Amino acid sequence: MLSTLSDLTLMAPELWLAAMACVVLVADVYAGGGRGTVAYLLAQLALLGGMWLLLADAVPAPEALFGGAFLRDPLADVLKAAVLVLTVAVFAYARGYLQGRGLDRGEYYVLGLFGVLGMMVLISAGNLLTLYLGLELLALSLYAMVALHRDSLEASEAAMKYFVLGALASGMMLYGISLLYGVTGSLALDVVARAAAADASDPVMLLALAFVIVGVAFKLGAVPFHMWIPDVYHGAPAAVALYVGAAPKIAGFALAMRLLVEGLGGLQAEWADMLVVLAVLSIAIGNVVAIAQTNIKRMLGYSTISHIGFLLLGLIAGTRDGYGAAMFYALTYALMAAGAFGVVAIMSRRSEAELLDDYRGLNARNPWLAFMMLILMFSMAGVPPTVGFYAKLTVLKAVIDVGALWLAVVAVAFSIVGAFYYLRVVKLMYFDEPPEEAAVRAGLQAGTVLSANGLAVLGLGLLPGALLALCLQVVG
């Protein structure tokens, strides 16, 4: 009994979020005309409360709860804290957009909280079944969120595509998990890890690995399992694209760490070879196809694909430095993506500002907003002294250290190609005439969060040491 109470105490952030999501759902029914405001305030309270519970009971060493099905370790704590902070920012960005577009209802916040709960369960998974449950809770929340604008044919089409492709990828991953269970006789990741290390040449284990890689690649959005990303970003309302593009990338990194590094670490040579193909294709196709886009949400979608390729480079290295660099990249990319989509949400309050031409002359309409977007675009392009430059540098150093110089050269070459479409946005904002003279107003809340977001991107680029050291410490 004491053991169960102790386990529940360490699981308090997840229990709090689950309870608060239900509270928001019920409150939304009875809130009447102010339902969006009530849901928003309760959702932010839920996230901040979850953060407090997480930090108040931080663990210095790994703790296995409920027979090892749920893990509480420093890696999980850092990733969960990042997810909670980013979601607070996402809800703040989305608030004005939802009000301006007549979508200010509680559904967005309820689904967002359940999505965060799924991410947190996934991050702490110590068991293949727990991992799959967290993954599916997140996925089901995202499917519904993409279709939030019920009257939009584009949103409905994007949700249907996402659901069908997501179900296919989930089925493949579940088949891989069933094969792992058949080979090892256990769902526990530590047992799977020992079995993989004992017999890395088992053909059934290798077949299971192939199916698992398909699932991981889809959830991350790596080529050739990437086609849902630009379609979902394009079709979904800007507030939903903002949510999908930020914190779930951290959960995707956690999925790779738990399943590949911790569960199938004995097959590192095999899955690293598979990831090399995915990484090169993602960096190449993501950067090249983004150049042809005229829709900023699709452009950011292909940009996401290229960044996932860079994240995979750290995992390919297979070293502590590589894993730390990949984690640093995941955290900083999620921060950059939240800011970039936050600007899109601010610009889209009256109508979807999804064409690149909508950003022409932004500096004349709101100089601070244009400057924040400039910092974010420079960071995504890897221009110093932003954090994007340092994130790329760390993963490139990790692959060079293991002798994969050619991989670093390919990544740098396509990164230079990709700089074009980021700099094009800057050129439009600063050197073109605005389509209209009306000022763009961000609002106090969204403007404050965007300022903190942009300055964090700049500050972490100037002083990246503390965050990188933390990443190296928790992955070790």
Each residue of 46-84: pLDDT tens digit?
999 999 999 988 888 778 888 888 888 899 999 999 999
With vertex at residue 131, the alpha carbon angle to CA 247 and CA 330, rounded to the nearest 5 degrees, is 30
pTM assigned to the model:
0.94
Which residues are within 8 A (CB) of 264 and not within 5 positions of it... i.e. 6 or more apart?
192, 193, 196, 209, 212, 271
Q: What is the mean pLDDT of residues 292-303?
A: 92
Each residue of 215-268: pLDDT tens digit?
899 989 898 888 889 999 999 999 999 999 999 999 999 999 999 999 888 888
More confident residue, 367 or 36: 367
Q: Distances in Å between the alpha carbon of 475 and those of 142, 148, 226, 266?
A: 28, 37, 27, 17
32 pLDDT tier (thresholds 50, 70, 90): low
Element (H, E) at 70: strand 70-72
How far is Cα 251 from Cα 119, in angstroms, rounded to an integer?
5
Q: Distances in Å between the alpha carbon of 386 and those of 40, 383, 410, 456?
A: 32, 6, 22, 9
Q: What is the mean pLDDT of residues 122-135?
A: 92
Tokens of 173: 């991953």
DSSP structure string for 257-309: IIIIIIISGGGHHHHHHHHHHHHHHHHHHHHHHHHT--BHHHHHHHHHHHHHH
How far is Cα 438 from Cα 429, in angstroms, rounded to an integer?
15
Element (H, E) at 65: strand 63-65
Three-state secondary structure call for residue 102? coil
Q: What is the mean pLDDT of residues 272-292?
A: 93
333 pLDDT tier (thresholds 50, 70, 90): very high
How far is Cα 322 from Cα 115, in angstroms, rounded to an integer?
28
Mean pLDDT of the chain: 90
How far is Cα 389 from Cα 191, in angstroms, rounded to an integer?
39
Q: What per-residue confidence (pLDDT) applies to 103?
A: 82
On the question of pLDDT at 2 being above 50, the answer is: no
Each residue of 377-413: pLDDT tens digit?
999 999 988 999 999 999 999 999 998 899 999 999 9
Nearest to 376 by CA among 395, 364, 359: 359
Tokens of 215: 């699932």
Which residues are within 8 A (CB) of 475 and not within 5 positions of it... i.e. 6 or more apart?
75, 257, 320, 323, 324, 327
1 pLDDT tier (thresholds 50, 70, 90): very low
How far is Cα 54 from Cα 80, in angstroms, rounded to an integer?
8
Q: Which of these ranges, 3-7, 55-59, 371-375, has the smallest mean pLDDT? A: 3-7
